[in-house]
Amino acid sequence: MLSRLIRMRWPLPVAGVVVAGIIVGVTIATASDGGNTLVIYNGRSHYGDEQVFTDFEELTGINVELRGGTGPELYERLRREGDDTPADVLVTTDLANLWRAEEAGLLEPHELTPTLEANVPAELRDPAGAWVAVSTRLRVPVVSTERVPEGAVTDYADLGDPQYRGRTCLRTSNNEYNQSFVADRIAKYGLDATRELLESWMANDPEIVNSDGELLAVIAAGDCDVGLSNHYYLGRALLENPDFPVAPAWPDQDGRGAHANVSGVGVVTWSDDEEDAVRLMEYLTSPPAQELIVAGSEFAANPDVPPAEHIRDWADVNVDPIAVEEAGPLLDDAIALMLEVGWN
């Protein structure tokens, strides 16, 4: 190519135009919204979560394209893209992500179909109909089975017990699970009580890790004794290795119970495939798809589907569902509070 260019009269402009043309061409080719394809912005784990979508494709003949990212990434993109977005469906973790998306007008409220109403109980749906939950997850204290006696940790407050000073692990305050937890806490216990709780946690000088998975690995390796994690990460680790030396410490079992959050799905406001999008929502909450989701150790949104075999007794835990309508508007307060108490 170089030698042919050299013989041309205008080598640089020609090269420039050719290169620019190639780049724009590739951009348009890769950015196409795919016509009939149902584009899904998927914020749930991309490690093994794809099976449900492949099954949906096979069942319905609808082409699906998954585009992955973290919840905040997807929110930021959707917000920027607006009505030019290729996305039809947003599947994301955590109430915080669902609430923000709805608040920013990224998810369109719909009247729910009878199937959706049958699949998902009312407390796991957005009251306005912008999203429905596909799974629930508990955010609970987890403890080393080797260094923490059974029954020593029975509540969230125990993460602030001075005896665990320098032995606690937490995920960053930038994480939505933590933000939702704190917002829900503020909604139910008030700002002052929540500040007190977080200050006691911070007084233990927690080690900040990237993910719940890493947190469990760090406890198992002996760098921490206690931490806060979503239950399904522990479920997966136990499935991989039944002797994994970390156990859940179900909190506040005589009171409100363990904080339960959701992951959910909604139709993007600018979708041009709403019918297919709703079919996907129905499928994701139907028993066959819920079985696959449960296999990843989450709890099903559909009450007909029990937890996976290896964690079935976790179904008896007393849970405290997140206050869907009250916690969302408190997210900004939650973030400010976390920064105020020095939670990085």
Partner 1 sequence: MELTSERLRPLEAAAAPASEAPGPPRRRRRPGGRLPGSTVLGIVISLAIVAPLLVVPLSLIGDGFALDPIARTLLPTAVRNSVVLAAGVGATSLVVGGGLAVLVSFYDFPGRRWLDWALVLPMAMPSYVLVYVILGQYGLASPLQSNLLGDGFRLPGIRSVGGAVLVLSAVLYPYVYLLARSALVGQSRQSIEAARSLGDGYGRAIWRVAVPLARPALAAGTALVVMEALADFGTVNLLGVQALTSGVYRVWNGGFDESAALQLASVLVGLALVLLLVERVLRGRARYHQAVGRGDAVVPRRLRGWRGWLAALPGVVLLLVVFALPVAQLVAWSWETATEGGLGVDLRTAITNTLLVAALATLAAVVTGTVVAYGLRARSTRLGRVSARLGTIGYAIPGTVVAVAVYVPLVWVDRHVVTAANDAFGWSVGLLFTGTVLGLVLAYLVRFHALSFFSVEARMTRINPNLDDAARSLGADHTRVLADVHLPLLRPGIVTAALLVLVDVMKELPVTALLRPLGRDTLAITVWEATKDSRIDAAALPALLIVLVGLVPVIVLVRLRQREGGAATLP
Nearer to partner 1, 320 or 333 (CB): 333
Instruction: Give CA separation, 279 vs 36, 107, 112, in Å.
Output: 14, 16, 11
Phi, psi of 269 (to 5 degrees): -50, -35
Residues that bind partner 1 (CB under 8 A): 2, 5-13, 15-16, 19-20, 22-24, 26-28, 30-33, 41, 45, 47, 65-70, 72-77, 79-81, 84, 86, 172, 174, 207-211, 213-214, 216-218, 220-223, 237, 240-241, 244-245, 335, 339-340, 344
Nearer to partner 1, 60 or 211 (CB): 211
Nearer to partner 1, 116 or 215 (CB): 215
CB of 275 within 8 A of CB of 269?
A: no
> How far, in Å, CA of 344 to CA of 336, rounded?
11
> How far, in Å, CA of 298 to CA of 318, rounded?
16
Q: At its nearest, how many Å lie between partner 1 and the CB of residue 124?
A: 25
CB of 43 within 8 A of CB of 93?
A: yes
Nearer to partner 1, 266 or 321 (CB): 266
Q: At its nearest, how many Å lie between partner 1 and the CB of residue 340?
A: 8
CB of 140 within 8 A of CB of 249?
A: yes
Q: At its nearest, how many Å lie between partner 1 and the CB of residue 141?
A: 17
Q: Please name every residue paired with 137 in a beta bridge, in sequence order, or none if there are none.
A: 261
Q: At its nearest, how many Å lie between partner 1 and the CB of residue 113?
A: 28
Nearer to partner 1, 195 or 256 (CB): 195
> How far, in Å, CA of 82 to CA of 116, rounded?
27
Q: At its nearest, how many Å lie between partner 1 and the CB of residue 170?
A: 10
